[in-house]
Every structure is written in structure tokens, then in C-alpha cells.
Amino acid sequence: MKESKKKIILTAIELFNQNGVGNVRVHDIAKAAQISPGNLTYHFPTKKALMEAVYIYMKSRLEEFTLVEDNPVDIVVDALKKTRDYLNFQIKFRFFYRDTLEITKLYPDIRQAYRKRIQNVINFNRKLIYQAVQQGYMQAESHSGQYDMLARNAWAILNSWLIEQEIMGTNILEGVKASLELHYPYFTQKGREFYDKMIEVLPKLAASENLQNLE
């Protein structure tokens, strides 16, 4: 991506986070990026084109840490780190999680792409769960579809974390722990023993390697 385009996208994200998508004009973005409106519209002729570019950039950043290894050394630690990174991701792109309904209503292409993204995340969660079963941390399903629903519930809880964080003041540590607690009833003895160890190190895990910037 050209630096000029990236600068516009990062500036747009910053303003969207501060003021909300609906309250930011193309002129505002150009002014904040210290370029002329004509220069901005040369790269992005409409706000729709800019929004779609912002979403593509956002999705690319998400994909950087949501790849599932076929044989991770420890699936539970890997899953908790990915959970931490996803919560930090929501903070960095908080405009999207605040205004999801508005954005997906105004921009149908983003709506379609986001629906696919949701299904990909649910599939990602499902794969993590089945790998945890294979490594002996979680029990086998008691009935067909049980872990499909757990994967969906995990997405729903994590995807609404930013709202809880802004209203209730929930921190990253509590968000990671909530994800761990959701899976606790399905842990084997090995999983529960590991849970006890992880509770002690969660503060360090939640605080480390946070995403510091958008670049």
C-alpha cells in the first residue's frame, strides 16, 4: 500500500475512533492528514471507497494474529494470547465495534464481508476447541453440535467486550478471564489443573505484548 493511502486510512481510523463514523466528513480527514480534499478524493473518490479501504486494512490486521497453527505447542496458551490480542484489536478499531449496525447498514459491501468474517471467526473458535480436545484439555462433545454452539457463544461474548469495557470499565485481564471461564465446564482434569496455573499468570499475559499502534 502506498504511504499516502495508508496515511489517509490511519487518519480516518483515528477520527472515526474519536468522533464516530457518521460525524466525520471527508474534509475533516483531509485536514487532519494535512492534505488537500482533492488529494484525498484522488485516492478515495467517495467516503464509501474510503470506508471499504479502512475495512480491508482492519481485516488484514485481524488476520495477522488469528491464524491457527496445525500443531501449536500449547493450544490453551495460544488461544489466550489470541484472545488478548483480539481485545486490544477492538480498542484500536473501536469505531467499528461501537457503530457496527450503522456501518453495515450504510455500506452493504462491508456488511457482506463482515458476515463472512463472523463465520470465519466462529470456524476459528471451533478449530481451537477441537485442538484443545485433541491435546486433552477439553472433553469430547457430549452431543453433536455442542461445540459449534460454544464457538458461536465465544464469538458473541468477545465481540461485545468493547461495550462492556466502555460502560463497565472491564479491563483486558477480565475479558481474557471471561473467555477462559466460558470453556471451564468442558475442561478435563488436565484442563482444570492448567486453568489453576493460568489464573496465576493471567495478569502478566494480559498486559504483555499489547498492540501499541496501528502501523
Task: Report the mean per-residue pLDDT for the chain.
Answer: 88
Alpha-carbon distance of 37 to 76, in angstroms, equals: 48
Q: DSSP per residue over 90-141, as a string? A: HHHTHHHHHSHHHHHHH-HHHHHHHHHHHHHHHHHHHHHHHHHHHTTSBPPP
Give me the CATH number covering residue 39. Answer: 1.10.10.60
CA distances (Å), origin 78, targets 66, 70, 125, 127, 129: 10, 12, 12, 12, 12
Whether residue 52 is contained in a domain is answered as no
Give me the CATH number covering residue 171. Answer: 1.10.357.10
Residues 78 and 136 in one domain: yes
Prediction pTM value: 0.84
Residues 39 and 74 in one domain: no
Domain that holds residue 25: 3-47
Asked if residue 161 lies in contact with residue 210, where contact means CB atoms within 8 angstroms, the answer is no
Query: Cell triple for residue 125?
Result: 473458535
Q: What digits encode the pLDDT tens for the residues 104-139? A: 999 999 999 999 999 988 998 898 899 899 999 999
Residues 111 and 43 in one domain: no
Whether residue 58 is contained in a domain is answered as no
Residues 86 and 29 in one domain: no
Asked if residue 154 lies in contact with residue 182, where contact means CB atoms within 8 angstroms, the answer is yes
Query: Cell triple for residue 119?
Result: 463465520
Q: What digits encode the pLDDT tens for the residues 72-106? A: 556 677 778 888 888 999 999 999 999 999 999 99
Whether residue 56 is contained in a domain is answered as no
Residues 37 and 73 in one domain: no
Residues 43 and 69 in one domain: no
Residues 26 and 72 in one domain: no
Name the residue among 6, 45, 11, 49 with its Cα closest to residue 28. 11
| Total domains in the fold of the chain | 2
Residues 30 and 70 in one domain: no
